[in-house]
C-alpha cells in the first residue's frame, strides 16, 4: 500500500518526543554483526524503519538468523552465512546495501550485490567503494546492475578516502576488520556513526583505532564474535524535530539525544533567534518570532549536515530576511523546493545554492516527497502552514523515520496517514 500524510497546519507543537536509534549507524552495525562467525549479537536502540527491514531481509537470504526480541532490540547470529548472492530486488532499494559487498568479501571472498539505490538526491556512484575494495585486493566489477567479485584474497593496505565519504569509510572498516594485515584509512569520515561502528567491531574482538579522526588504523583479525551493543541516537531525527518545533511555533523537548552531536544545529537555531535549552540527554526548543535568516553551507561532520539542509530551508522560508543555503555534498538535494514553492515559499535555486526569501506564511497544498529529508521538510512546512497539506510519497519518510505521524500527533499536530492503492499516489 502507498500512503499519504494529511496535515492540518497551524497547531503549535508541544510536549516531549523520543528520538530512536540512528539509521546510518544501525545499517553498518547490523551488517558488521554478520562478520561474526561465532556467537551472537544483540543490538539495542535499533530504529524500526523500512531501510533496516530491507537490510535484515538481505542478511536472512544470505543465511544469517535475525529476530526482533523487543521493539528496538535485534538478535543476530551469522555463523551460517554461506550464500554470496544478495537478493537483487531488495539490495537495489537502499544505499546501505553496498556494505553487504564488503561483508561478503571479508567473510566468503566473493559476492554479488545489486548496485545500490536509495533517495534521488544525486548520482550517488560507488566508485570510491570499488577503489577501496581494489586497494584491499578485490577486483569488483559492475555487470548487469550488480557488483560482483570471486576468488578474492584480501590483504591490508593504505587507502585515501576521496571526499571523506561516509559509506566508503564504513565499507573499508567492515572489510578490513577481517582482512589479514594492517589497513590505514586516510581522510576517513569522522561522523559519529563511524565511531559507533568502530566501538561495536572492537567489542566483537576487532582492532580499530582512530575512529572519529581522519586516520583509522585497522589490524585485521582471524575471527570476530557477536556482542551486545546499543546504537547511538539518531542526530538527524533529533535535528528534524528541532526544526519542526521552531517552524511550527512549538515548545518541544527532544529526548534521547547526544547534544554534542547536534552542536552545529543548536548554534544555527540560536542564530535564527530560537531558544534552545541543552539538557543531559535532551534538548528543548522553544520557538520565538521572528525567525531570523541564517545562511548555511552543508559540510562533513562537524559541519552542518546535508541531511538537515532540507528542513532548514523550510524554516528559513519563514524567516525575516534572505538566507543563502549551499549544498556541497549531494548535487541534487533541492528537489523538494519546487514542492515548497507550491506552498508559497519564495526560493530561487542556482546550481548548488538556494536563495531563500522569507514569507509570512505557507499555505497547505498537495505535494510529493521524493527523498527522506525533503519529505521531512514538507512535513515541517505542512505543520506550519495555513490549511491542509497532502503529502504523497510517504514511503520515503518511512525509510528513515519511525512512526513520524504518531510522534507528531503526540505533540499536538493534526496529522493522519491515509493508505491508498499503489496507482492512486
Q: Tell me the catalytic residues.
A: 119
Under the binding rule (CB under 6 A), the answer on residue 128 touching ligand UD1 is yes
Q: Which one of residues 20, 96, 317, 364 is an interface residue with ligand UD1 (CB under 6 A)?
A: 96
| CB nearer ligand UD1, residue 79 or residue 328 | 328
Under the binding rule (CB under 6 A), the answer on residue 166 touching ligand UD1 is yes
| CB nearer ligand UD1, residue 220 or residue 374 | 374
Question: Stretches 160-168, 225-233, 259-267, 273-281: which one binds ligand UD1 (CB under 6 A)?
Answer: 160-168
Q: Which one of residues 49, 168, 240, 314 is an interface residue with ligand UD1 (CB under 6 A)?
A: 168
Q: Which one of residues 7, 27, 218, 247 is an interface residue with ligand UD1 (CB under 6 A)?
A: 27
Question: Stretches 159-167, 239-247, 309-317, 341-349: which one binds ligand UD1 (CB under 6 A)?
Answer: 159-167
The rounded distance, in Å, linking the Cα atoms of 383 and 374 is 14
| CB nearer ligand UD1, residue 15 or residue 303 | 303
> Length of the chain in residues, anyone?
425
Question: Stretches 9-17, 68-76, 103-111, 163-171: which one binds ligand UD1 (CB under 6 A)?
Answer: 163-171
Under the binding rule (CB under 6 A), the answer on residue 124 touching ligand UD1 is yes
Under the binding rule (CB under 6 A), the answer on residue 126 touching ligand UD1 is yes
Under the binding rule (CB under 6 A), the answer on residue 24 touching ligand UD1 is yes
Under the binding rule (CB under 6 A), the answer on residue 127 touching ligand UD1 is yes
Question: Stretches 105-113, 117-125, 152-160, 251-259: which one binds ligand UD1 (CB under 6 A)?
Answer: 117-125
Q: How far is the CB of 239 from ligand UD1 (least distance, A)?
A: 12
Q: Which set of grid coordinates corresponds to residue 31?
A: 551488517
| CB nearer ligand UD1, residue 13 or residue 115 | 115
- Do 190 and 214 touch, CB atoms closer than 8 A? yes
Contact set for ligand UD1, span 184-213 (CB under 6 A): none
Q: What is the CA radius of gyration of the chain?
A: 21
Q: How far is the CB of 121 from ligand UD1 (least distance, A)?
A: 8
Question: Stretches 100-108, 122-130, 225-233, 241-249: which one binds ligand UD1 (CB under 6 A)?
Answer: 122-130
Q: Which set of grid coordinates corresponds to residue 2?
A: 502507498
Question: Stretches 118-126, 201-209, 350-358, 411-419: which one binds ligand UD1 (CB under 6 A)?
Answer: 118-126
Q: Is the peptide bond before 290 cis (omega within 30 degrees of 0)?
A: yes
| CB nearer ligand UD1, residue 274 or residue 298 | 298
Under the binding rule (CB under 6 A), the answer on residue 41 touching ligand UD1 is no
Cell 530486488 found at: 89
- Count CB atoms within 10 A of the CB of residue 155: 14
Q: How far is the CB of 336 from ligand UD1 (least distance, A)?
A: 14
Under the binding rule (CB under 6 A), the answer on residue 165 touching ligand UD1 is yes
Under the binding rule (CB under 6 A), the answer on residue 264 touching ligand UD1 is no
Q: Which one of residues 304, 330, 334, 336 is an interface residue with ligand UD1 (CB under 6 A)?
A: 330
The rounded distance, in Å, linking the Cα atoms of 274 and 289 is 8
Q: How far is the CB of 241 from ligand UD1 (least distance, A)?
A: 17
| CB nearer ligand UD1, residue 163 or residue 270 | 163
Applying CB under 6 A, the residues found at the interface with ligand UD1 are 24, 27, 95-96, 122, 124-129, 163, 165-168, 306-307, 329-330
Amino acid at each position: 500500500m502507498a500512503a499519504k500524510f494529511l496535515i492540518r497546519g497551524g497547531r503549535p507543537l508541544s510536549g516531549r518526543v523520543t528520538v530512536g536509534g540512528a539509521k546510518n549507524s544501525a545499517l553498518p552495525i547490523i551488517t558488521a554483526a554478520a562478520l561474526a562467525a561465532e556467537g551472537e549479537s544483540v543490538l539495542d536502540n535499533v530504529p524500526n524503519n523500512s531501510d533496516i527491514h530491507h537490510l535484515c531481509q538481505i542478511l536472512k537470504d544470505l543465511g544469517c538468523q535475525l529476530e526482533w526480541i523487543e521493539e528496538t532490540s535485534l538478535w543476530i547470529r551469522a555463523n551460517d552465512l554461506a550464500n554470496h548472492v544478495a537478493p537483487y530486488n531488495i539490495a537495489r532499494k537502499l544505499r546501505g546495501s553496498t556494505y553487504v559487498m564488503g561483508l561478503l568479501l571479508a567473510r566468503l571472498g566473493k559476492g554479488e550485490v545489486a548496485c545500490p539505490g536509495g533517495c534521488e538526491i544525486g548520482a550517488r556512484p560507488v566508485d570510491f567503494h570499488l577503489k577501496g575494495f581494489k586497494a584491499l585486493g578485490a577486483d569488483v566489477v559492475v555487470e548487469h546492475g550488480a557488483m560482483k567479485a570471486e576468488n578474492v584474497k584480501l590483504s591490508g593496505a593504505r587507502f585515501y578516502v576521496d571526499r571523506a565519504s561516509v559509506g566508503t569509510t564504513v565499507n573499508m572498516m567492515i572489510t578490513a576488520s577481517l582482512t589479514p594485515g594492517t589497513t590505514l584509512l586516510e581522510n576517513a569520515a569522522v561522523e559519529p556513526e563511524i565511531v559507533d561502528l568502530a566501538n561495536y567491531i572492537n567489542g566483537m574482538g576487532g582492532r580499530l583505532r582512530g575512529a572519529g579522526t581522519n586516520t583509522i588504523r585497522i589490524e585485521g583479525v582471524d575471527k570476530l564474535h557477536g556482542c551486545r551493543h546499543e546504537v547511538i541516537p539518531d542526530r538527524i531525527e533529533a535535528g528534524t524535530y528541532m526544526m519542526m518545533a521552531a517552524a511550527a511555533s512549538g515548545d518541544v523537548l527532544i529526548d534521547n539525544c547526544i547534544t554534542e552531536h547536534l552542536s552545529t544545529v543548536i548554534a544555527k537555531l540560536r542564530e535564527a533567534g530560537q531558544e534552545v535549552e541543552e539538557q543531559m540527554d535532551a534538548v528543548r526548543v522553544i520557538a520565538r518570532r521572528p525567525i531570523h535568516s541564517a545562511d548555511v553551507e552543508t559540510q562533513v561532520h562537524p559541519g552542518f549536515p546535508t541531511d538537515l539542509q532540507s528542513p532548514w530551508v523550510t524554516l528559513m522560508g519563514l524567516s525575516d530576511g534572505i538566507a543563502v543555503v549551499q549544498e556541497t555534498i549531494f548535487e541534487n538535494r533541492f528537489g523538494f523546493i519546487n514542492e515548497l514553492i507550491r506552498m508559497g515559499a519564495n526560493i530561487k535555486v542556482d546550481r548548488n545554492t538556494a536563495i531563500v526569501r522569507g514569507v509570512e506564511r505557507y499555505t497547505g497544498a498537495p505535494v510529493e516527497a521524493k527523498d527522506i529529508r525533503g519529505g521531512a521538510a514538507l512535513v515541517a512546512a505542512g505543520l506550519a502552514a495555513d490549511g491542509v497539506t497532502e503529502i504523497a510519497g510517504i514511503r520515503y519518510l518511512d525509510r528513515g523515520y519511525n512512526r513520524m505521524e504518531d510522534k507528531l500527533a503526540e505533540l499536538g499536530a493534526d496529522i493522519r496517514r491515509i493508505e491508498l492503492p499503489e496507482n492512486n499516489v
